[in-house]
């Protein structure tokens, strides 16, 4: 029985570490988009996703705010699953963009110029956010504190 307790603690510490590191690093991507909405829209959205409805700058702004506010919620462990799903969806677009822009670049064994796979970071973020969407934020989260005050049917999403 003690090993089960140790495993549970390690899992919760691991979920905390994933939340903290991924959310702190992801904020940069949202800020970067907001610092040059027109440039990002022209270079990425207009060029690679011309079929999206509405003004394309709205997609850039939506992605930026998802990455900033989703990261903030993830950081404190509130609505972890919703935040992680939202952040993972931005990474789906990032993966599509990098696949269309540079391809898979011979992965996993190809040697690329400047030794940098373009899609690698997006793939790692997608994997992390997928794990958090499936497992939730763990016990070291604001959600754990608030769960008792939320209706049972909504608890998995807090």
Q: What is the pLDDT of residues 60-116, one digit of tens each?
A: 999 999 999 999 999 999 999 999 999 999 999 999 998 888 777 766 676 777 656
- Which of 108 and 48 is assigned the larger pLDDT? 48
pLDDT at 130 over 80: yes
Position with higher pLDDT, 105 vs 46 = 46
Distance from C-alpha of 65 to C-alpha of 85, rounded to nearest angstrom: 14
The span from the CA of 121 to the CA of 62, in Å, is 20
Q: Is 79 exposed, middle or buried (0-12, 13-18, 19+ CB in 10 A)?
A: buried
pLDDT computed for residue 114 by the predictor: 63
Q: Quick one: 113 exposed, middle or buried, by C-beta within 10 A (0-12, 13-18, 19+)?
A: exposed
pLDDT of residue 153: 82
- Residue-level pLDDT at 3: 63
Q: Is the dihedral of CA 23, 29, 32, 37 positive or negative?
A: negative
């Amino acid at each position: 029985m003690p090993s089960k307790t140790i495993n549970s603690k390690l899992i919760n510490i691991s979920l905390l570490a994933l939340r903290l590191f991924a959310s702190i690093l992801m904020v940069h991507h949202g800020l970067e988009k907001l610092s040059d909405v027109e440039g990002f829209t022209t270079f990425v959205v207009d060029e690679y996703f011309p079929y999206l409805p509405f003004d394309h700058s709205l997609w850039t702004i939506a992605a930026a705010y998802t990455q900033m506010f989703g990261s903030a919620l993830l950081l404190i462990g509130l609505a972890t699953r919703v935040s992680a799903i939202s952040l993972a969806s931005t990474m789906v677009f990032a993966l599509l963009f990098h696949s269309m822009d540079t391809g898979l670049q011979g992965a996993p064994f190809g040697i690329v110029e400047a030794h940098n796979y373009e899609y690698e970071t997006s793939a790692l973020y997608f994997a992390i956010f997928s794990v958090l969407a499936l497992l939730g934020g763990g016990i070291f989260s604001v959600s754990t504190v608030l769960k008792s005050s939320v209706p049972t049917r909504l608890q998995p999403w807090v």
